[in-house]
Amino acid sequence: TRLPLCIFLLLGSFLSAQECYWEPQINHIEYKYNLSDFGLRGKVKSCTRIHETQNEQCVYKVAHRAWGDHHFIERFNFNRFGNITSMYSETNQGDTMEIVLVDYDSLNRISKVSHHSFSVWSEYESSNGENWEHASLNYNYQNNKLESIQVVGDFGLPFPGSDVYTLKMDYENDKVVRKIITNGNKSIDSVHLREYSYSHSAGVLAEEITIKASHNREPTTIKYQYASDGITLTGKTSIPIGSTDESQVATWTYDENQNLISYHKGDTSNGFWYCQKFFAYNKHNDLVWEHTNMEYDGRAKLQNQIIYVYDQKENWTERYTRRSHDISYGGGTQSDEYFRESQDIMYYE
């Protein structure tokens, strides 16, 4: 089973198995795990986040669902630089299900990530501390640049199973021009190859080409679009290389604050597989509305409406989500769903 990437993928807690959004990933293990990645602001020392589902009696409770769609109580700790140092996930019965520990070097760069988790792919039962899985990321720097990351254990595609993988970066003029994934401690053959090119004027990323894709993924070219200033990202387009019957172009559009406002993949008028998503944000750049129209192993059309309660530091302390199903996934009808998330935040003085 795949270890959950709670601190890497950073998906909203209200996203479900119906999710059709796709983002090309090999760089999720390179993220800087700082406050902004968690939607937090200010000098946050720790944060406890609880996700609850409203039941038939209109009472909010922490629910543990089947097939890995679990919502746990999450506890995050940060250093004074705003980088995460540890993360714990717990059940409403007090069982720890996941532990992530992050080490830094003297320059405050990530040196190692240790990940320990108890996989749950069925209705939740007490683990009693058994069946833990372990994985780690080991970062290597040369000439003040991230040269490689050794991936030990299952971090999801394209790093599945218990093999050892290495993600290596090549640079030209201080910019990454190539990323190569190899399998095994001394493997020469690559399992994934991606190249990058940049604009001559502003030096921003212009094109990303996956020449060799892993695990049955298509080779693709991603082209980036910018505003008239040449540096503000407005969109990107993913175009399959060597199209097949299942190949689909995907497009992303961003607002002036770099928030994703739309995503399209496939053709709703001619095609069985497609996905349309639209997003809106408040003045804090927090998501307040999401609309999904999709056909992926079942038809669905739904929207999430979200409201927040904020503290004086402009961090939300409560987030309420109402999910409405215009067309229920898998057919039939489904009542609106209601979720409540809370954050208990402590700050450095």
Per-residue pLDDT tens digits for 156-205? 666 666 778 888 999 999 999 999 988 875 556 678 889 999 998 889 99
Report pLDDT for 294.
85
pLDDT band at 214 (very low <50, low <70, confident <90, very high): low
**pLDDT exceeds cutoff 50 at 12:** no
- Tell me the average pLDDT across 242-254: 79
d(CA 263, CA 224) in angstroms, rounded, equals 14
- Tell me the average pLDDT across 12-17: 33
**Range with lowest mean pLDDT among 42-56, 70-84, 304-318:** 70-84
**Range with lowest mean pLDDT among 22-36, 130-144, 263-277:** 22-36
Report pLDDT for 10.
31
**pLDDT exceeds cutoff 50 at 333:** yes
Q: How much is the pTM?
A: 0.84
- Tell me the average pLDDT across 123-127: 53
Cα four-point dihedral sign 149, 152, 156, 158: positive
CB-CB neighbours of 272 under 10 Å: 11
Which CA distances in Å does 36 have to 7, 32, 235, 273, 315?
Answer: 12, 9, 21, 33, 11
Is residue 24 within 8 Å of 298, Cβ to Cβ?
no
Q: CA 238, 243, 247: angle at the middle one, nearest 5?
A: 60
Report pLDDT for 299.
77
Query: Which residue in 292, 303, 308 sits closest to 341, CA to CA?
Result: 308
Which stretch, 31-35, 213-217, 323-327, has highest mean pLDDT?
A: 323-327
pLDDT in tens, 58-114: 999 887 654 445 667 899 999 999 999 999 988 887 878 889 999 999 999 999 999
The proportion of the chain whose per-residue pLDDT surpasses 70, expressed as a percent, equals: 75
**pLDDT exceeds cutoff 90 at 330:** no
Position with higher pLDDT, 137 vs 243: 137
Q: Give the contacts of 262 (CB within 8 A, at least 6 positions apart).
A: 251, 252, 253, 276, 277, 278, 279
**Does an H or E element contain 145, and which?**
strand 145-152
**pLDDT exceeds cutoff 80 at 258:** yes
d(CA 119, CA 153) in angstroms, rounded, equals 14
Report pLDDT for 25.
53
pLDDT band at 5 (very low <50, low <70, confident <90, very high): very low
The proportion of the chain whose per-residue pLDDT surpasses 90, expressed as a percent, equals: 49
Report pLDDT for 81.
94
Report pLDDT for 21.
55
Report pLDDT for 300.
82
pLDDT band at 15 (very low <50, low <70, confident <90, very high): very low
